Amino acid sequence: MNNQAIMYAAGGLVVGVLLTVFVSSTAVNNNQTGMMRMMGMDADRIRMNMAGGGMMYGSNMGMDEMVTELEGKTGEAFDASFLELMIEHHRGAIDMARLIPTRATHDEIKQLGEAIITAQTKEIGDMRDWQQAWGY
């Protein structure tokens, strides 16, 4: 091969990589899960990593999707997925509860928010401990 052919090949490779990175990042940043799946990417795991790292599912996942994610799983696979999903579910509840002090009117809701933050923070800690102890 001559130098010109090598340069064209290298240039084509660089352009291809750059195009792939651009399309992938655009799909992720615009939450285009269909595009991500088409490209062989696990959209839920990408969202979860963007949302705070670790092996959790993105807060955009609804309860029905979480339940669907558990379907067909048993044993260790179920336990690991359940903990991932429940931690994310609790994080969402804590995020919502943190809005209460500056936005809610009723003291009952304010007390509920404090209780949610306290209880679910402890439960997340417990579940993380289990994940570590069980090798998830």
DSSP state letters, 49-82: HHHHSSS---TT--HHHHHHHHTT--HHHHHHHH
Predicted TM-score of the model (pTM)? 0.56
Alpha-carbon distances of 18 from 22, 32, 39, 95, rounded to whole Å: 6, 19, 15, 36
Q: Once rounded to an integer, what is the mean pLDDT over residues 6-31?
A: 54
How many domains is the chain partitioned into structurally? 2
Is residue 73 pLDDT above 60, yes or no? Answer: yes
Q: How confident is the model at residue 9 (pLDDT cuts 50, 70, 90)?
A: low
Determine which helix (DSSP H) or strand (DSSP E) holds 116, and give its type and residue range. helix 107-133
Claim to verify: residue 26 and residue 67 sit in the same structural domain: no
Claim to verify: residue 30 and residue 84 sit in the same structural domain: no
Residue written as token pair 């401990």: 129
The rounded mean pLDDT for the chain is: 77
Q: Once rounded to an integer, what is the mean pLDDT over residues 51-66?
A: 61
For residue 102, what are the domain limits?
54-136
Q: Once rounded to an integer, what is the mean pLDDT over residues 6-35?
A: 54
Structural domain contains residue 48: no
Claim to verify: residue 36 and residue 58 sit in the same structural domain: no
